[in-house]
Structure 1
Amino acid sequence: MTEDKAAIRNAATVIVLRDRDTNPRILMGQRGAKAAFMPNKVVFPGGAVDSGDADIALATPISEFCATRLRQDSPQDLTHSLCVAAIRELWEETGLILGQKNVWSARPAPDWESFAATGHIPTAEALQFVFRAITPPGRPRRFDARFFLLDADEIATDLDDFSAACEELSHLQWIPLSEVRAFDLPFITEVVLAEIEARVTDRNPPTSVPFFKNNDEASLFMQLHGREQDR
């Protein structure tokens, strides 16, 4: 099946890093055997941006430092929607909340009712934009995925309670970085893991964000430095 550029969906992925100063572990789960995209693979939580994500208010935005890199080489500013999607997917797939205690000022959209019922509103300040990759042509589904690193200390709920998670990911677990490559990982996940391993002790967002730009003309490896004129 031939795919065109219009078929590429924007997506957000969250890499939650725990115990980074002692025994670094990351949160991952396994996709189902019948999943259309990456069946059986062990992956980070994440998924496509929904149209309603742009309308969800954030208690705090992502840093402007990261926002400039998210805007680079993008036809429109999707910073807000990508951050909301990251928080929503984290909640849906793991049951973990990145948010602040507060009451919603308006009735939440259906996708956010369960999140709001916990007494939290989403916040993006702790997200760090660390990687971007477009799925190569020829795959059954293609995504322009932005990867966000999140320190587990920023999670508002019990890190070991996945009871509110949907069934999209199974075997949710905190995997030691030293052992993660023994699992069945997508190629791009292995590449991202190399970046994360290099950033375990560095709590600042990266100055330069790697970008695998796979389009119909060529596959390019770029670095996003946040220069607005490059958009």
Structure 2
Amino acid sequence: MAPEPLDGPPATPRDAATVVLVRDGGAGVEAFLLRRVAGMAFAGGMTVFPGGGVDQRDADTSVAWAGPPPSWWAEKFACPPRLARALVCAAVRETFEESGVLLAGPSPDSVIADTSGYARARAALVARELSLAQFLASAGLVLRADLLRPWANWVTPEEEPRRYDTRFFVAVLPPGQRADDQTTEASDGQWQSPTEALADWKNGRRALLPPTWVTLADLAELGSVAEVLAAPREVLKIIPKIVREGGVLRVIVP
């Protein structure tokens, strides 16, 4: 049966960035997962990777930058360079806000080993009292775009009232840093192997959106961080579709 018709045209998706943090664990690659607070307007109660919407200040060209330029990211994500810059900056900012992991360092070839000294800046970023550019400049830090890898591009189904055009990145946990769940948007966070996370989902212990379980399934086929980084990726825009079959809604992934 066809889905119920929309009351109007589909909502315009908001640009967003998600970062799949990975590390090598005892049984292979692990990913950092956050369980969103149940009462949140979007994906409440769902288990997700760190990420969020692009802030207009993320396009600030004053950010000290190391790694592939915005034009390279624009080609990978099929978007204008200005948006590509904002997506990379949003990926770094949101990862720091939601997990405490900071993909930046005092020089183009170094990365912070301990981010605990930036707790006040992290809170100010969350409160939108501080932009990423302002934070990095005041701390004398360089954004490390080379620590990110393009992974996927998912768009919320047209049937949803709140939609996002989300570019997925992969990043390895920097040496010395630790990921935490000190964010008001999550009830808990943990490292888990993709296989275990998918088993929790199938057994009803986790709720996963299609982009999350597809990404975990991809990672489950790779045995180590090295394999993840070496995996060839062609980033295509994926838009799932919601269909109603009787009284059940199903999500169809192209």
Q: Settle same-fold status: TM greater than 0.5.
A: yes
Give 1:180's aligned residue.
197
User: Are 1:18 and 2:38 an aligned pair?
Assistant: no
Equivalents in 2 of 1:16, 1:7: separation in Å? 28
User: Are 1:169 and 2:171 an aligned pair?
Assistant: no
Give 3-state SS (helix, strand or coil) of 2:153's partner.
strand
Give 2:215's aligned residue.
192
Give 2:66's aligned residue.
60
Rg: which structure is higher? 2
Note the alpha carbon deviations across 1:153-192, whole angstroms, 9 max, x for none: xx265215x37x4311231111122201112211221112
Name the CA shift for 1:116/1:177 in 2 (closer, same or farther; >3 Å). Answer: farther
| Count of aligned pairs | 206
TM-score normalised over the length of structure 1: 0.76
How far apart are residue 95 of structure 1 and its match? 1.1
The one-letter code matched in structure 1 to 2:141 is H
Give 1:159's aligned residue.
178
Q: Is the 8 A contact 1:26 1:174 kept in 2?
A: yes
Residues 21-60 of structure 1 mapped to structure 2, 5 A cutoff: 23-55=28-60, 57-60=63-66
How far apart are residue 143 of structure 1 and its match? 0.4
TM-score normalised over the length of structure 2: 0.70
Give 3-state SS (helix, strand or coil) of 2:170's partner.
strand
Name the CA shift for 1:157/1:80 in 2 (closer, same or farther; >3 Å). Answer: farther
The one-letter code matched in structure 2 to 1:110 is L
CA RMSD after TM alignment: 3.0
Residues 1-150 of structure 1 mapped to structure 2, 5 A cutoff: 2=7, 4=9, 7-19=12-24, 23-55=28-60, 57-62=63-68, 66-70=73-77, 72=78, 74=79, 76-77=80-81, 78-101=83-106, 110-112=130-132, 120-150=141-171
Q: Which has the higher helix share?
A: 2
Unmatched runs of 5 consecutive residues or more in structure 2: 1-5, 108-124, 201-205, 242-251
Moved more, 181-190 or 203-212: 203-212
How far apart are residue 203 of structure 1 and its match? 2.1
Equivalents in 1 of 2:185, 2:98: separation in Å? 6
Q: Work out the percentage of aligned pairs sharing the same amino acid.
A: 28
Q: Is the 8 A contact 2:92 2:103 kept in 1?
A: yes
The one-letter code matched in structure 2 to 1:84 is C
The one-letter code matched in structure 2 to 1:87 is V
Give 3-state SS (helix, strand or coil) of 1:52's partner.
helix
How far apart are residue 87 of structure 1 and its match? 0.3
Equivalents in 2 of 1:126, 1:21: separation in Å? 23
Note the alpha carbon deviations across 1:26-65, whole angstroms, 9 max, x for none: 0111111111111100100000111000005142143666
Give 3-state SS (helix, strand or coil) of 2:230's partner.
coil
